[in-house]
Amino acid sequence: MTKEGVQYGSSKSKLLTITSGKGGVGKSTFTANIAYLLSKRGYKVAVIDADIGLANMQVLFNVRPVHTIFDYIEAKAELSDVIMQTPYYNVYLLAGKSGYSYANHSNSFVLTRVVSDVVALNEFDYVLIDTGAGLNDYVKEFLKISDNILALTTTDPSALTDVYALMKMLSKDKNSLMLCFNHTKTAKIGFSIAKSLENLAKKNRLNTNFMLEYIGNVSSSSTISTTGRLRKLFAYEFENETVTTELEMVIDEVLKKMNGGL
């Protein structure tokens, strides 16, 4: 664990942070569906909407939060008031707030404290963080405390440029970054682009202890966009579709990396 990582102490909760660099690549959709698929495997999962200012996880889960993480930060609510049950058994949401102005707080530590406090509850098997796009100060702060980071990207050149910027930043003080492609036609494409990114990292002499771990791909599918629009999870509605199987395979890899096995 890096020195800034959340101190797990005796907590069983494992933290997974989903980020991207470029916006709109499918982070929130993945986070919500991964949460559901983990719950289907018997785990209790909390999702923290860390997209400061543009929170939309409540839309994906089709819930109306009474309290948000900011109510907890501002001491207007208990943590237990903020943790809300979603329509999916054993999937809980700590909602964010759209249009929230972060300038109210003097430092970003207050935001990441929510994560440490949820982990300290020792109630969830997995705590997933959905970050916003870009590499702004909030995103950096959430990445700093995370040891398991999943970068989602498309094969779009601008998205790949952003992922490389993320690799460059994380290589300074993290051991690894999991890389997953969205909207790819075959796993092979993802694999070869991951190799190219690795080679670029070597050429530019990024820290050699830093590992890029390719963990799979999910294809483009109207099933995903349609279910999203209907405020439903594709992995729940279409459990036998290719995209759900692909995401299950990604989760197999994530769990292997996080736990050294399934």
Ligand X SMILES: Nc1ncnc2c1ncn2[C@@H]1O[C@H](COP(=O)(O)OP(=O)(O)OP(=O)(O)O)[C@@H](O)[C@H]1O
Contact residues for Mg ion, defined by CB under 5 A: 27-28
Cα separations (Å) of 235 from 51, 57, 67, 167, 232?
22, 16, 27, 29, 9
Could you tell which of Mg ion, ligand X, none binds residue 25, using a CB distance below 5 to 8 A set by kind? Answer: ligand X
d(CA 203, CA 171): 14
**Minimum gap (Å) between residue 187 Cβ and ligand X:** 14
Using CB under 6 A, pick the residue from 77, 133, 169, 249 that binds ligand X: 133
User: Known binder of ligand: residue 190?
Assistant: no
Instruction: State the binding string over 66-105 for ligand X (x if CB under 6 A, else -).
Output: ----------------------------------------
User: Known binder of ligand: residue 28?
Assistant: yes
Closest among 52, 254, 193 to 136, alpha carbons compared: 52
d(CA 250, CA 23): 20
Binding to ligand X by residue 39, rule CB under 6 A?
Answer: no
User: Known binder of ligand: residue 29?
Assistant: yes
Binding to ligand X by residue 221, rule CB under 6 A?
Answer: yes
Could you tell which of ligand X, Mg ion, none binds residue 182, using a CB distance below 5 to 8 A set by kind? Answer: ligand X
Instruction: State the binding string over 50-69 for ligand X (x if CB under 6 A, else -).
Output: -x------------------
User: Known binder of ligand: residue 14?
Assistant: no
Binding to ligand X by residue 231, rule CB under 6 A?
Answer: no
User: Known binder of ligand: residue 23?
Assistant: yes
Helix boundaries (H) for 125-241: 137-144, 157-170, 187-203, 222-229, 234-237
Are 116 and 7 in contact, with CB atoms under 8 Å apart? Answer: yes
Closest among 141, 126, 167 to 258, alpha carbons compared: 126
Contacts of 35 (CB under 8 A, 6+ apart): 45, 47, 88, 91, 126, 128
Could you tell which of Mg ion, ligand X, none binds residue 216, using a CB distance below 5 to 8 A set by kind? Answer: none
Cα separations (Å) of 49 from 95, 124, 253?
5, 16, 23
**Minimum gap (Å) between residue 29 Cβ and Mg ion:** 8
Our CB check for ligand X shows the closer of 26 and 190 to be 26
Which residues fall in the annotated binding site? 22-29
Binding-site residues for ATP sit at 22-29
